[in-house]
Amino acid sequence: MAVVDVTLADGWIPIKNLENKHVVKIAEFAVKEHNRQAGSELRLYSIHKGELQVNEGTDYRLLLAVGAGSLYEAVVHESCDYSTVLMSFVPLNG
């Protein structure tokens, strides 16, 4: 089963299967790392949308439902050695 679809004009590739174990792992990392950095206790409820971009590793841009209906856009970089870094975690509503 394919995880990605066709490439978008800006180089991001839509993630076809948002329930893929690796995609879920990246989303969980984003929330956990944000909680560590911000001292918050957000909880991942679902992944609404996901895209990836390959560039000296893989960047994941995920639209996440966390907390009480809040949406966040998380960008995570995964290097070729599979280490991960949270690049951004931005609220999209409220």
Question: Domain coordinates of the chain in residue numbers?
Answer: 13-91
**Looking at domain 13-91, which CATH architecture does it have?**
Roll (3.10)
Task: Kindly state the average pLDDT of the residues 79-84.
Answer: 93
Predicted TM-score (pTM) of the model is 0.86
Residue of 54, 50, 57 whose CA lies nearest to 73: 50
Cβ atoms of 33 and 80 closer than 8 Å: no
Q: Given pLDDT bands bounded at 50, 70 and 90, which one contains residue 24? A: very high
36-77 pLDDT, tens digit per residue, is 999 999 999 999 999 999 988 999 999 999 977 799 999 999
Tracing tokens 């394919």 back to the chain, one arrives at 2
